[in-house]
Amino acid sequence: MSTPAAIEFDKVSRWYGDTVALADVTFTVGPGVTGLLGHNGAGKSTALRLCGGFSTPSSGTVRILGLDPKASPDVYKRLGIVPDHSPPWPFLTAREVVSICARLRKVPDPAAAAERALTEVDLMDVADRNVGGFSHGLRQRVKLAQALAHDPEVLLLDEPLNGLDPQHRRHVVELLRRMGESGRTVIVSSHVLHEVERMAPRVLVLVNGRLVAEGETAEIRQLIADRPRQVRVTAEGDPRPLARELVGSGAVSAVHLEDGHVTIDTEDVEAFSRLLPAAARDTSTTLKRVEPIGDDLESVYTYLHDRARGTAR
């Protein structure tokens, strides 16, 4: 018999009234770090809540280590969770929070486990201070420590780098990467690709509740880099000679002239970025401004969404 995947989503949908948070999502996640990417409201937190047994699918099944967490609470001994919101009890010290979570997950020596987890997230110097007085970043690390204290096989982390300073971001990224390499299953949600690609060799991309891409991070990065783009160029004087020069080149698929701007559609941004200065020089055009259009994250995710539905340009 084959070992079940650590996390299995099978045709999972979750809706709240008329709002669809997840639509027919199917994936499996095995050992290593997997990034769960998507814009705000894409369904990342809903997916993680379903994994954690904090929500029930409207249809489909969710299995963690082959079990339904709601029906088999023992699975939480093997599962660590960092929720996005929900700071730990403010009247407890960091040590007490981690220790009580370890005790409730049946760790034989909760005090030692708390000490180890707090050391791992570099919190020992404030371990005996109340969490209520902590900054957002310190609270994030307490949340991470409580999730690590029982040495889980599976870790679900909802935006774990939020609020961390650059030094601790690096530290946590390194820690999670090590955990993935040691054979644990780690799923990390984020809306920032470059943040995820530093630790996750694989990503799942959710857009508007749908799984629109999954695979190696480098492939997704390439897919995003290769997508058609629009660039708006503002030139001093008449932009038409520049437009004529550009339209004949292979890197440009369409040129639109409007209000003194030239808007260029390109399939190959790199080639276009080499072509534009040369075209400006050849036509004696002074470039005032060059700006990409629709290069924000929302547009990137929308492109992936449209591509998955076969409607992308």
Partner 1 sequence: MSWPVVKLTVRALLLQKRTLALALLAYAPTLMAFVFAVGARADANHHRFYSHLVQDLMVPVVTALVSLVVGVSAIGDEREDGTILYLAATPLSRLSIVVSKITAAWIVAFALLGPSLVLSCLLALGGDVTLGLIVWPLLGVALAALAYAAGSAWLSLRVRRPIVVGILYIILWEGSIATYAASADRLSIAAYGRALVAEKLPQAAAPVVSPARATLILIVATAFLAWLGGRALRRTELP
Nearer to partner 1, 37 or 79 (CB): 79
Q: How far is the CB of 225 from partner 1 (least distance, A)?
A: 37
Q: Which is nearer to partner 1, 103 or 221 (CB)?
A: 103
| Six token digits for residue 177 | 């990467």
- Interface residues with partner 1 (CB under 8 A) are 49, 52-56, 70, 73-77, 79, 81, 83, 85-89, 91-92, 97, 100-101, 103-106, 146
Min CB(61)–partner 1 separation in Å: 17
Measured from the Cβ of residue 256, the count of other Cβ atoms closer than 10 Å reads: 12
Cα separation, 40 vs 109, whole angstroms? 39
In the complex, the smallest distance separating the C-beta of residue 89 from partner 1, rounded to whole angstroms, is: 5
Spatial distance between the Cα atoms of 50 and 221, rounded to a whole number of angstroms: 27
Instruction: Give CA–CA dist 211/307, Å, rounded.
Output: 12
Q: Which of 13/263 has CB closer to partner 1?
A: 13
Shortest distance, CB of residue 6 to partner 1, whole angstroms? 16
Measured between alpha carbons, how far is 132 from 28 in angstroms, rounded to an integer?
37
| Residue in the structure block whose two tokens are 């996750």 | 200
Cα gap 230→258, rounded to integer Å: 14
Nearest approach in angstroms of CB 282 to partner 1 is 60
Which residues partner with 8 through β-bridges? 28, 63
Containing 223, the helix (H) or strand (E) segment is: helix 217-225
Nearer to partner 1, 86 or 273 (CB): 86
Q: Which two tokens stand for residue 133?
A: 């007085």
Q: To the nearest whole angstrom, how small is the minimum distance from the Cβ of residue 90 to partner 1?
A: 8
Identity of the residue, 70 or 116, whose beta carbon is nearer to partner 1 in the bound complex: 70
CA distance 176 to 11: 28
Beta strands in 130-190 (DSSP E): 154-158, 185-190
Inter-residue contact 23 to 13 (CB < 8 Å) = yes
Query: What residues form DSSP beta bridges with 189?
Result: 36, 158
**Least CB distance to partner 1 at residue 96 (A):** 9
Question: Cβ closer to partner 1: 132 or 292?
Answer: 132
For the CB of residue 154, give the shortest distance to partner 1 in the complex, in Å.
12
Give whichever of 52 and 239 is closer to partner 1, judged by the CB atom: 52
Q: Which is nearer to partner 1, 6 or 255 (CB)?
A: 6
Distances from the Cα of 11 to the Cα of 44, 75, 198, 220, 302, angstroms: 16, 22, 29, 22, 22
3-state secondary structure of 27: strand
Under a CB-based contact definition with an 8 Å cutoff, are residues 136 and 160 in contact?
no
